[in-house]
């Protein structure tokens, strides 16, 4: 079931009143579990069994870690749980990748390996809920929380349908306690949740899905397009993937708020970043912090000298790239981002900063130097997106080569404009993207772009709601495609 379908809207319309009609917290949690498994099973009911196995593995591992045992036994319990999780993820997502890579490496040495290739469907969202259950067991092992024996609440935490398929990847220390608390309906939070959902629907249906045909046109046939057209296609993909993925997070957070839950912020205006390090503090925050806490810091973080620090950064980004997909494109994308982040992590003037700070400063307009740093960072991010989106490494190399070398002066402006006008929005693309950037810039100091509307006079507030709803109905792509991150 996808957020942008009438099926989901009907599901939510039935779930919401029934949920709040139940006054008992346990009954609400049971409904969440049932509704979440129904929501997930809408794709394929067999996926539900896999998610349940993954959940129970960490549930019982957590209970075992509750009992006082010797350090060696605790490590064995943790290792067993981690091995089980990684084995499930590796079987469904990475088996063919490693088998094919091993065969290619053997062929390069003159050996012949005949390894089987599995024809299995990648379960939707397996990377997300696997990381969520793994973090639960690791946090119990570290003593950050005590494992719960309440299986209903635990299953609700793992399967919570708003964020189940594409995040945010919630920590048990933040989300699990909310299932033990009494929840009271708050009108102001519900309205704010609807505002965030509205902005999510606008980004997905109006921007992301209408840019998708242009992106597909450019990346499916890089040899048949000019360099400026491939550059335009790459910028379109940068906007598409942001609007697509952040829209899912916006809708997820909004639905959760309707039900009385608070989910972590997953995007904080990343394209207004002034460095690659800042970008990765603002992009897919739940995954970035997951790798920081469970990979980078255990490896040693910034301790042990520059070479070890560099190794830890690069390994973390390599694994992050591999998490995104079973392809050398993603591995190289992760490595490239690690290399781009390294100079800032070594700089003595580098400042960590917080994602709740306004990017670009607090003023209405950014300073020229700030704009230049933003544009340079965006350009570097786009170089990485080429590897992320291209079908093969050869295609990625061809695209970058043509973007850098294939130019034709002022004629390029005509070709770039003509290329964009081939999309469903034609010339209106520029205006709608401008609206996107303006709203995100004005709302960059808030938890989400439309949060500031709460302080507007009601006529202006409702005029903004009407304008966005009209844009969705008028320009929304009727053939909405699945969210990009469903494949991860």
pLDDT interval class at 257 (50, 70, 90):
very high
The answer for 110, left when phi > 0, alpha when psi is -120 to 50, beta otherwise, is left
Same-domain pairing of 109 and 216 = no
Q: Is 415 a catalytic residue?
A: no
**Which position among 225, 309, 324, 448 bears the catalytic label?**
324
Name 71's Cβ contacts closer than 8 Å, sequence gap at least 6.
none
Q: Is residue 349 part of a domain?
A: no
Looking at 99-113, 164-178, 286-300, 330-344, which range is the least confident one? Answer: 99-113
Can you tell me the distance from the alpha carbon of 433 to that of 134, in angstroms, rounded to the nearest whole number? 38
For residue 258, is pLDDT > 80? yes
Mean pLDDT of 106-128: 71
Can you tell me the distance from the alpha carbon of 234 to that of 382, in angstroms, rounded to the nearest whole number? 6
For residue 326, is pLDDT > 80? no
Dihedral over Cα of 48, 49, 51, 55: its sign: positive
Mean pLDDT of 227-241: 93
End position of a domain, from candidates 127, 155, 184: 184
Same-domain pairing of 263 and 407 = yes
Mean pLDDT of 285-291: 94
For residue 343, is pLDDT > 80? yes
Q: Is 66 helix (H, G, I), strand (E, B) or coil?
A: helix
Can you tell me the distance from the alpha carbon of 477 to that of 481, in angstroms, rounded to the nearest whole number? 9
Torsion angle in degrees (nearest 10) through CA of 217, 252, 3, 199:
-70
Q: Is residue 331 part of a domain?
A: no
Other CB atoms within a 10 A radius of the CB of residue 122 amount to: 15
Same-domain pairing of 145 and 44 = yes
Which range has the top average pLDDT, 81-90, 252-261, 429-438? 252-261
Q: What is the pLDDT of residue 411?
A: 76
For residue 473, is pLDDT > 70? yes
For residue 341, is pLDDT > 90? yes
Same-domain pairing of 208 and 168 = no
For residue 270, is pLDDT > 60? yes
Q: What is the pLDDT of residue 400?
A: 93
Mean pLDDT of 449-459: 91
Looking at 13-22, 265-274, 362-371, which range is the least confident one? Answer: 362-371
Q: What is the pLDDT of residue 285?
A: 95
Q: Is residue 270 part of a domain?
A: yes
Q: What is the pLDDT of residue 2?
A: 87
Q: Is residue 225 part of a domain?
A: yes
Q: What is the pLDDT of residue 104?
A: 65
Tokens standing for residue 27: 């009954």
Q: What is the pLDDT of residue 103?
A: 66
H helices of 208-327, in order, are: 209-220, 227-258, 276-282, 285-291, 297-299, 306-324
Can you tell me the distance from the alpha carbon of 62 to that of 85, in angstroms, rounded to the nearest whole number? 14
Can you tell me the distance from the alpha carbon of 259 to that of 7, in angstroms, rounded to the nearest whole number? 19
Q: Is residue 236 part of a domain?
A: yes
Q: What is the pLDDT of residues 172-186, one digit of tens each?
A: 999 999 999 989 999
For residue 108, is pLDDT > 70? no
Q: What is the pLDDT of residue 225?
A: 87
For residue 410, is pLDDT > 90? no
Q: Is residue 52 part of a domain?
A: yes
If one counts the domains in the chain, the total is 2
417: domain range?
204-274+359-487
pLDDT interval class at 427 (50, 70, 90):
confident
pTM to 2 decimal places = 0.91
Tokens standing for residue 260: 């009385």
Same-domain pairing of 208 and 179 = no
Mean pLDDT of 312-328: 89
With tokens 């959940």, the residue in question is 55
End position of a domain, from candidates 184, 218, 245: 184
Q: What is the pLDDT of residues 353-369, one digit of tens each?
A: 566 677 887 778 888 99
Other CB atoms within a 10 A radius of the CB of residue 395 amount to: 19
**Greatest CA separation found in the chain?**
74
Pick the residue with more confidence: 105 or 136? 136
Q: What is the pLDDT of residue 116?
A: 63
């Amino acid at each position: 079931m996808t957020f942008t379908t009438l099926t989901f809207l009907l599901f939510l319309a039935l779930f919401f009143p029934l949920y709040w009609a139940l006054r008992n917290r346990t009954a609400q949690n049971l409904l969440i579990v049932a509704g979440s498994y129904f929501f997930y099973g809408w794709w394929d009911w067999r996926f539900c069994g896999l998610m349940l196995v993954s959940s129970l593995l960490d549930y019982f591992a957590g209970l075992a870690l509750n009992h006082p045992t010797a350090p060696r036994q605790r490590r064995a319990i943790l290792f067993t749980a981690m091995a089980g999780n990684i084995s499930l993820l590796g079987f469904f997502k990475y088996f063919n990748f490693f088998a094919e890579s091993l065969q290619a490496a053997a062929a390069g040495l003159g050996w012949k390996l005949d390894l089987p290739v599995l024809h299995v469907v990648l379960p939707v969202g397996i990377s997300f809920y696997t990381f969520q259950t793994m973090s639960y067991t690791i946090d119990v092992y570290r003593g950050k929380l005590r494992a719960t024996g309440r299986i209903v609440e635990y299953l609700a935490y793992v399967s919570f349908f708003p964020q189940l398929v594409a995040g945010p990847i919630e920590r048990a220390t933040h989300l699990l306690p909310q299932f033990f608390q009494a929840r009271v309906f708050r009108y102001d939070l519900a309205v704010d949740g609807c505002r965030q959902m509205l902005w999510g629907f606008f980004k997905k249906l109006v921007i992301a899905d209408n840019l998708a045909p242009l992106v597909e046109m450019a990346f499916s046939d890089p040899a048949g397009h000019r360099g400026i057209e491939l550059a335009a296609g790459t910028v379109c993909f940068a906007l598409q993937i942001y609007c697509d993925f952040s829209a899912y997070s916006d809708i997820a957070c909004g639905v959760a708020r309707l039900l009385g839950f608070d989910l972590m912020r997953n995007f904080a205006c990343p394209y207004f970043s002034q460095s690659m390090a800042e970008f990765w503090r603002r992009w897919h925050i739940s995954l970035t912090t997951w790798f920081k806490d469970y990979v980078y810091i255990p490896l040693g973080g910034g301790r042990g000298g520059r070479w070890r620090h560099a190794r830890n950064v690069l390994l973390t980004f390599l694994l992050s790239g591999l998490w995104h997909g079973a392809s050398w494109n993603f591995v190289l994308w992760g490595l490239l981002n690690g290399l781009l982040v390294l100079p800032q992590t070594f700089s003595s003037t580098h400042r960590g900063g917080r994602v709740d700070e306004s990017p670009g400063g607090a003023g209405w307009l950014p300073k020229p130097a700030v704009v230049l740093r933003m544009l340079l960072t965006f350009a570097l991010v786009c170089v990485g997106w080429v590897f992320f989106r291209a079908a093969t490494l050869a295609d990625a190399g061809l695209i970058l080569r043509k973007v850098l070398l294939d130019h034709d002066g002022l004629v390029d402006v005509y070709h770039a404009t003509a290329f964009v006008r081939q999309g469903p929005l034609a010339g209106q693309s520029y205006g709608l993207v401008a609206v996107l950037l303006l709203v995100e810039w004005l709302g960059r100091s808030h938890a989400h772009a439309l949060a500031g509307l709460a302080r507007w006079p009601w006529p202006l507030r409702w005029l903004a709601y009407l304008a966005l709803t009209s844009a969705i109905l008028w320009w929304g792509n009727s053939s909405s495609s699945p969210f990009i991150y469903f494949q991860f």
